[in-house]
Amino acid sequence: MARTPLISGNWKMNLNHFEAIQLVQKLSYELRNHDYDKVEVSVHPPFTDLRSVQTVIDADRMLFGLGAQNCHAETSGAFTGEVSPAMLQKMDVDFVIVGHSERRALFGETNEIVAAKALAVATHEMTPIVCVGETLQERESGEAESVVEAQVLGSLASLKGEKLTKTVVAYEPVWAIGTGVTASASDAQQMCAHIRSVIETIKKSAAEEVRIQYGGSVNAANAGELMSMPDIDGALVGGASLDAASFARVVSFQDT
């Protein structure tokens, strides 16, 4: 089955809402309508920018989706400083990244927490982008596949039926994030194929449908080769998504 690649820009904790508006306007100018023929695109600004970006996307009928970088698993309540999936849904957010390695490493997010967030996102009719990936130490000690397998099984455990098939998994090896060191296309393909085989053990029919992105130092120069791999269905882009021209070149990878 043909899976439409999803190219997502994770801005992380960068750009205030004025800068965010400028970036999406530039991005919309850089991208041509035919760029969206073969791929889906999403931008993931910080929470404080979401409303501004949503307004611009709506007003100018921009064709990319709106994404968040995180959310809480509960719908409302005494969770000072948190943002709920219901609030994001109300703002027409399409995608929510959950379990990014920075959140797992710096904010103590376990597979159980990630699974609860993924379910909350899917329940609010948004698409979770569930991140998994091994550290350098885990790769060097030959544990990469088993670590990623445990993350996939644990983080997707809450999702059944359509909620599972619509989920996006992002394979982001920790050692490739923000380092300029990309996984080779064949290593990335091997792990993404492994992830698909793990999903097959959860629900056979879901494996062919779930989109698996690669993330970690993706740029215009390496995007084409990575995304030509049979099990890689797009990219989760950090640094290169902060520059409209660079991100647009990643999005139009099929032309390069």
Residues 162/202, Cβ–Cβ less than 8 Å:
no
Residue closer to ligand 13P by CB (options 5, 239) is 239
Interface residue list for ligand 13P (CB under 6 A): 10, 100, 172, 177-178, 215-218, 236-240
Residue closer to ligand 13P by CB (options 176, 198) is 176
Residue closer to ligand 13P by CB (options 171, 207) is 171
Q: Is 74 a catalytic residue?
A: no
- What is the nearest approach in angstroms of ligand 13P to the Cβ of residue 147? 17
Residues 163/122, Cβ–Cβ less than 8 Å:
yes
Closest CB to ligand 13P: residue number: 238
Q: Is 100 a catalytic residue?
A: yes
- What is the nearest approach in angstroms of ligand 13P to the Cβ of residue 148? 15
Which residue in 100, 134, 138, 149 is the catalytic one?
100
Residues 182/217, Cβ–Cβ less than 8 Å:
yes
Which pair of tokens denotes residue 116? 């609860």
Pairwise CA distance, residues 12 & 254, whole Å: 26
N-to-C CA span, the chain: 24
Q: How far is CA 157 from CA 91, 101, 113, 161, 166, in A?
A: 27, 18, 11, 12, 14
Residue closer to ligand 13P by CB (options 121, 237) is 237
Residues 156/195, Cβ–Cβ less than 8 Å:
no
- What is the nearest approach in angstroms of ligand 13P to the Cβ of residue 7? 11
- What is the nearest approach in angstroms of ligand 13P to the Cβ of residue 214? 10
Which residue in 72, 138, 172, 194 is the catalytic one?
172
| Catalytic residue annotation | 100, 172
